[in-house]
Amino acid sequence: MPIRPSQRDRYPKDWPAISRHIRLDRAHSRCECSGHCGCHHGWCGREDYGTSPETGARIILTVAHLDHTPENCRGDNLLAMCQRCHLAYDRDHHAQTRLKTQERQLLEAGQEFLPYDNLVQKGQ
């Protein structure tokens, strides 16, 4: 997955070498997910990366930070994942980040932030 320019400073300078080592040397070009992401699409462990048999889309092997912290590049915190597993693994983290961003933007605009859970609890 591409690194956002705003996040690039959080990655070590040798990230390309670290990522290559995890994907090629350690994982032997296979998705290491083994169910970490909660998906059941059968791609975990496949080595025939290239194109999806379902859509024809190009399959990319990425490296995921299990604790979602780019600065933490210890081997036990990194897993090679196909982009599908990586997105599934990061889903909850992305949702939390999105809510925090929305809350910050509303507060900066002088508006009250009411997450959906609060509206449901108030019976609205």
Residue 20, domain member (yes or no): yes
For residue 84, give the nearest of 55, 104, 113 by alpha carbon: 55
Q: Higher-confidence residue: 43 or 106?
A: 106
Q: Beta-carbon neighbour count of residue 95 at 10 Å? A: 10
pLDDT at 79 (0 to 100): 93
pTM above 0.85, yes or no: no
Q: Which pLDDT value is given to residue 120?
A: 45
Q: Which class for 96: exposed (0-12), middle (13-18), buried (19 or more C-beta within 10 A)?
A: exposed
116 within a domain of the structure (yes/no): no
Residue 64 lies in a domain: yes
Question: Who wins on pLDDT, 85 or 14?
Answer: 14
pLDDT over 80 at 58, yes or no: no
Could you tell me if residue 119 is inside a domain? no
pLDDT(22) > 80: yes
Q: Is residue 43 part of a domain?
A: yes
Measured between alpha carbons, how far is 31 from 49 in angstroms, rounded to an integer?
A: 9
Whether the Cβ atoms of residue 22 and residue 75 lie closer than 8 Å to each other = yes
User: Residue 88: inside a domain, yes or no?
Assistant: yes
Domain total in the chain = 1
Residue 36 lies in a domain: yes
Where in the sequence is the domain holding 22, given as residue range(s)? 5-93
Q: How far is Cα 67 from Cα 78, in angstroms, rounded to an integer?
A: 9
For residue 100, being part of any structural domain is answered with no
